[in-house]
């Protein structure tokens, strides 16, 4: 938590567990490449099932034990009993992980399918927050949705549930992707209007290709804003120009968010490092020592 509450604006990065050996090499190249830039933390998403969960746990442990980075482990309640959740949390603690992003998760196979809790499990993220808190001195984060969670009845109810998670003991929230700074700032205002001052980190993704833009639309749960689409669409068939404009757009978005006082920017990296490095470099978020370390 102290890593995102200093006076200096910082950034954090998110990875997902590697699917195979080749993926693992690529992921570790990205991790090592970003390490000298001193991100506030590195978060690793929690897989939907058995083997990908093992890869999440293994990768998070390696980050804790073999790098200078601060890991944040994601944990979901999907198909877990409370006893299993306690076990995973205990295991995270044993390998030196002190930060956990407590997420309810989605029904496996169909994110919009009916959520059926494990008979001995939990139903909402707030319960997971309480469980993690109960088990040790963890810094706990939760998920936030600028356009509202796709299943939520309306924005106000969704914001009430977000504030409920924060009041259950979470220290901060990380926001899902969005397209305009105002979309995020409105979420922050809704939370503040409920008397909750917990920091909310905007989630951003460098829009380097048409594919990443599609991914951003899918994750955000909303269509790209007309302003953003108007700047990118003319370059749909020109990858180099698309990338250049995409990086400009994300840099401008981040500049606006920093001017609005966000404590940190959370980058969805898709397990790559080049574009994130480029954006944080342009924003001047890279510590001086990064240059020395990269050069050495």
Q: Assess 149 for contact with ligand FAD (CB under 6 A).
A: yes
CB of 242 to ligand FAD, least distance (A): 25
Decide whether 107 or 281 has the Cβ nearer to ligand FAD.
107
Instruction: Clarify whether 24 is annotated catalytic.
Output: no
Q: Which of residues 167-226 bind ligand FAD (CB under 6 A)?
A: 174, 176, 203
CB of 56 to ligand FAD, least distance (A): 8
Decide whether 130 or 282 has the Cβ nearer to ligand FAD.
130
> Residue 98 corresponds to which tokens in the numbers above?
């002190």
Region of 119-127, 186-194, 227-235, 278-286 interacting with ligand FAD (CB under 6 A):
119-127
Q: Which of residues 18-47 bind ligand FAD (CB under 6 A)?
A: 45-46
- Binding ligand FAD (rule: CB under 6 A), the pick from 64, 125, 247, 265 is 125
- Side-chain-facing half-sphere of 158: CA atoms under 13 Å: 15
- Binding ligand FAD (rule: CB under 6 A), the pick from 37, 42, 63, 103 is 103
Q: What is the 3-state secondary structure (H, E, C) of the chain?
A: CHHHCCCCCEEEEEECCCCCHHHHHHHHHHHHHHHHHCCCCEEECCCCCHHHHHHHHHHHHHHHHHCCCCEEEEEECCCCCHHHHHHHHHHHHHCCCCEEEEECCCCCCCCCCCCCCCCCCCCCHHHHHHHHHHHCCCEEEEEECCCCCCCCCCHHHHHHHHHHHHHCCCCEEEEEECCCHHHHHHHHHHHHHCCCCCCEEEEECCCCCHHHHHHHHHHHCCCCCHHHHHHHHHHCCCHHHHHHHHHHHHHHHHHHHHHCCCCEEEEECCCCCHHHHHHHHHHCCCCHHHHHHHHC
- Binding ligand FAD (rule: CB under 6 A), the pick from 23, 81, 124, 196 is 124
CB of 97 to ligand FAD, least distance (A): 14
- Binding ligand FAD (rule: CB under 6 A), the pick from 3, 24, 26, 48 is 48
Q: Assess 151 for contact with ligand FAD (CB under 6 A).
A: yes
Q: Assess 104 for contact with ligand FAD (CB under 6 A).
A: yes
From 142, 72, 135, select the one nearest 104 (Cα to Cα): 142
Binding residue count for ligand FAD, defined by CB under 6 A: 24
CB of 207 to ligand FAD, least distance (A): 18
Task: Give catalytic residue positions.
Answer: 14
Residues that bind ligand FAD (CB under 6 A): 45-46, 48, 74, 76, 101, 103-106, 124-126, 143, 149, 151-152, 158, 161, 164-165, 174, 176, 203
């Amino acid at each position: 938590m102290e890593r995102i509450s200093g006076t200096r604006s910082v950034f954090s990065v998110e990875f997902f567990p590697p699917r195979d050996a080749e993926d693992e090499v690529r992921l570790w190249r990205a991790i090592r490449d970003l390490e000298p830039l001193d991100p506030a933390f590195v978060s690793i998403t929690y897989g939907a099932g058995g083997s990908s969960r093992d890869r999440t746990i293994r990768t998070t442990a390696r980050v804790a034990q073999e790098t200078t980075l601060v890991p944040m482990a994601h944990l979901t309640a999907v198909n877990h009993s409370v006893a299993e959740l306690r076990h995973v949390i205990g295991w995270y603690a044993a390998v030196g992980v002190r930060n956990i992003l407590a997420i309810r998760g989605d029904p496996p196979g169909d994110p919009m399918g009916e959520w059926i809790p494990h008979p001995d499990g939990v139903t909402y993220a707030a319960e997971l927050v309480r469980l993690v808190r109960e088990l040790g001195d963890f810094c706990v984060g939760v998920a936030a949705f600028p356009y509202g969670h796709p299943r939520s009845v309306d924005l106000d109810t969704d914001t009430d549930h977000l504030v409920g998670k924060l009041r259950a003991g979470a220290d901060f929230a990380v926001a899902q992707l969005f397209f305009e700074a105002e979309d995020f700032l409105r979420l922050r205002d809704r939370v503040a209007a409920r008397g909750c001052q917990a920091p909310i980190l905007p989630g951003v993704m460098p829009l380097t290709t048409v594919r990443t833009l599609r991914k951003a639309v899918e994750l955000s749960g909303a269509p790209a804003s007309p302003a953003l689409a108007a700047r990118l669409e003319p370059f749909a068939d020109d990858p180099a120009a698309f990338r250049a404009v995409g990086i400009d757009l994300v840099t401008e978005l981040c500049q606006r968010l920093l001017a609005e006082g966000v404590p940190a920017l959370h980058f969805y990296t898709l397990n790559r490092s080049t574009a994130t490095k480029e954006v944080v470099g342009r924003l001047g978020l890279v510590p001086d020592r990064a240059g020395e370390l990269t050069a050495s």
